[in-house]
């Protein structure tokens, strides 16, 4: 099952991404002094060319200034910086601030949407939002209630707004958006409520609908061409989005799209992942449940799918496939290839050719992963591309609902949405991970619109037989398909990473520490405890000739849901409350941004 590829990197982050219709936005992304979209660039590398702060001086970092958001609960995502203005967002009610960096962070404007608080209990795993984006002079916000809003970047005035879903049937939003060319790409949350996932493109100028592609359903809904959309190099054939479902189960099939998006301007393709199938009880939805748990490549202009790859057919563990797709250009065996790397919730790190969807690497990035022995990498095999499930850790046993114990990873995965980073200098991926296992007991559940549609009880705990903690921060060597170094953490690393040309990598911890480590060795170079646990993503920018590093702190998210929502029953929060009960000994609720810089 194991197959290693020698990957010799010939990395070009900006140069390989050709100019395209929205050249102004691309130029802004290419300027390392700014941070224009949440991922930093279209390739999702979260890498900055800034190097004023480097491994030799990062130990001298000091807090430059702070900002309180005025909102508690989980603060995911990061600020943006466009010119002299920083844009900061919050969890529900999704307040947006514009701060004047040239005038001591003065609040230029504040947008506070009036949302129905009844959306809060419909949101899975905290009231988080992963941030705003910029394009065409507008700040784009996708609110919890699924309203997509375009704000004038200078004044905060609403330019247009459109409703993307209906919270009454469980549709909500926690994700950011991605501006591409003349469109804004958005997803949908709600897999735990029987929502049918989709990705939608709205026209940037006025918010009108350009296209929508569903995760499952008829070809006309999924925007799949049966003869020209491929899976592992072969046409998917007609009705691929319905023929692996029983009856009409696909209509409430999950596959939501609340993760991150990447874009290759040369290919004009957007890449993303679809989430778990509904319900969590696998015996109620026999079949492969396509196209949940799938990596998608879609044409930005039309939405048509070029290729798909389903990572976890008939998912039995809630291993959402929404984590980011990191795009790199590398040389394999003497051939330059456009690659996509994805660290999935299921514990496998994948590398695919992003032009064709060919599967090149599928390896465990946490050694405790036990639900599978690995992926069949033989193209001639009838099970090519499928993971081999270990029967002991299956949650479906001859149609009987039984309590399966000791499954690794837990439902929140070896990595959740917290994004990894990639450095072209070291040719390493830096991955925040969860080192957590679970017991999983399915039960029968019926669907009612707007009500939870889960059908499983979970308990979570640290992976046994290791360092006793619930997380690691790792450096992943794609050339050898293995971990180069690993830093144990007491709790899951729920913060997004940042790599810089200064040969350092930043990440945050659930206790609230911002940490800086040597990109080559993992040696800890700096840490500072912020006001609350960090589940935000570290970013960097330069202003007035000085480099800054910023991060939101405010404990919450799935791992911190017990603190965020005041839950105490160990199985609440879909099993996370008991697993992370000790977190309250180290941090409390908060909502703050901390900005760091070197002393003058």
Q: Which CATH number characterizes residue 127's domain?
A: 2.140.10.10
- Residue 2 is assigned to a structural domain of this protein: no
- Cβ within 8 Å of residue 460, ≥6 positions away: 410, 411, 412, 436, 437, 438, 575, 576, 578, 579, 580
Of 157, 163, 169, 168, the closest CA to residue 143 belongs to 163
Residues of the chain with pLDDT under 50: 1-21
What distance in Å separates the CA atoms of residue 136 and residue 37, rounded to the nearest whole number? 13
Report the predicted TM-score, pTM, of the whole model to 2 decimal places: 0.95
- Residue 66 is assigned to a structural domain of this protein: yes
pLDDT of residue 19: 35
pLDDT of residue 63: 98
pLDDT of residue 2: 35
Active site residue 585: no
Question: Is the peptide bond prior to 409 cis by the omega test (within 30 degrees of 0)?
Answer: yes
Q: H or E segment at 543? A: strand 539-543
pLDDT of residue 478: 74
Distances (CA, A) of 458 to 87, 120, 396, 468: 38, 22, 14, 20
pLDDT of residue 17: 36
Of 242, 272, 262, 259, the closest CA to residue 191 belongs to 259
pLDDT of residue 331: 81
Question: Catalytic pick from 264, 318, 401, 416?
Answer: 318
- Residue 1 is assigned to a structural domain of this protein: no
- Residue 556 is assigned to a structural domain of this protein: yes
Of 262, 200, 265, 261, the closest CA to residue 26 belongs to 265
> Are 284 and 238 within 8 A, CB to CB?
no
What does the angle CA 281 – CA 441 – CA 283 come to, to the nearest 5 degrees?
Answer: 25
pLDDT of residue 6: 31
Structural domain harbouring 127: 7-597
pLDDT in tens, 527-562: 999 999 999 999 999 999 999 999 999 999 889 888
* Tokens of residue 104, six digits: 């001591």
Total number of domains in the chain = 1
């Amino acid at each position: 099952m194991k197959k290693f590829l020698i990957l010799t990197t010939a990395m070009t982050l900006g140069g390989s991404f050709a100019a395209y219709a929205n050249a102004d936005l691309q130029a802004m992304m290419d300027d390392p002094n700014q941070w224009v979209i949440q991922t930093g660039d279209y390739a999702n590398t979260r890498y900055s060319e800034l190097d004023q702060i480097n491994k030799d001086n990062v130990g001298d970092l000091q807090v430059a200034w702070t900002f309180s958001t005025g909102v508690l609960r989980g603060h995911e995502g990061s600020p943006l910086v466009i010119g002299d203005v920083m844009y900061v967002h919050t969890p529900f009610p999704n307040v947006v601030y514009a701060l004047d960096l040239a005038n001591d962070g003065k609040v230029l404007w504040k947008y506070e949407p009036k949302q129905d608080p009844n959306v809060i209990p419909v949101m899975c795993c905290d009231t988080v939002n992963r941030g705003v984006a910029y394009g065409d002079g507008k700040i784009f916000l996708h609110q919890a209630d699924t309203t997509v809003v375009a704000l004038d970047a200078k004044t905060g005035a609403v330019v247009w707004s459109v409703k993307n879903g209906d919270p009454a049937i469980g549709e909500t939003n926690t994700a950011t958006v991605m501006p591409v060319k003349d469109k804004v790409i958005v997803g949908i949350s709600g897999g735990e409520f029987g929502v049918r996932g989709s990705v939608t493109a709205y026209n940037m100028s006025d918010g009108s609908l350009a296209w929508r592609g569903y995760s499952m359903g008829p070809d006309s809904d999924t925007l799949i061409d049966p003869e020209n959309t491929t899976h592992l190099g072969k046409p998917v054939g007609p009705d691929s989005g319905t023929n692996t479902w029983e009856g009409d189960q696909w209509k409430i099939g999950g596959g939501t799209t609340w993760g991150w998006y990447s874009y290759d301007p040369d290919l004009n393709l957007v890449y993303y992942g679809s989430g778990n199938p509904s319900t969590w009880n696998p015996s109620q939805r026999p079949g492969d449940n396509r196209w949940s748990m799938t990596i998608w490549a879609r044409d930005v202009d039309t939405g048509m799918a070029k290729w798909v790859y389903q990572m976890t057919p008939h998912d039995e563990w809630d291993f959402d496939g929404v984590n980011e797709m990191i795009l790199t250009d590398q040389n394999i065996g003497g051939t330059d290839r456009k690659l996509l790397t994805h660290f999935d919730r299921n514990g496998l790190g994948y590398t695919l050719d992003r032009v064709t969807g060919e599967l090149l690497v599928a390896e465990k990035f946490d050694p405790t992963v036990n639900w599978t022995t690995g992926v069949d990498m033989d193209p001639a095999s009838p099970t090519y591309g499928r993971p081999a499930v270990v029967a002991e850790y299956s949650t479906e046993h001859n149609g009987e609902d039984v309590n399966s114990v000791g499954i690794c990873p837990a439902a929140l995965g070896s990595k959740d949405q917290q994004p990894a980073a990639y450095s072209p200098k070291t040719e390493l991926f830096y991955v925040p991970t969860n080192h957590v296992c679970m017991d999983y007991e399915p039960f029968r559940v019926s669907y009612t619109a707007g009500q939870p549609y889960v059908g499983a009880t979970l308990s979570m705990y640290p992976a046994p037989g290791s360092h006793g903690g619930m997380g690691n921060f790792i450096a992943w060597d794609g050339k050898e398909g293995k971990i180069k170094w690993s830093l144990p953490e007491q709790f899951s690393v729920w913060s997004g990473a940042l790599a810089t040309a200064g040969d350092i990598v930043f990440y945050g911890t659930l206790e609230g520490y911002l940490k800086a480590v040597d990109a080559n060795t993992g040696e800890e170079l700096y840490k500072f405890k912020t006001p609350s646990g960090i589940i935000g993503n570290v970013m960097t920018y330069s202003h007035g000739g000085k480099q800054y590093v910023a991060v939101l702190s405010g404990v919450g998210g799935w791992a911190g849901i017990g603190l965020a929502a005041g839950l105490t029953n160990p199985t609440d929060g879909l099993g996370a409350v008991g697993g992370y009960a000790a977190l309250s000994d180290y941090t409390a609720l908060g909502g703050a941004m901390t900005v760091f810089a070197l002393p003058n």
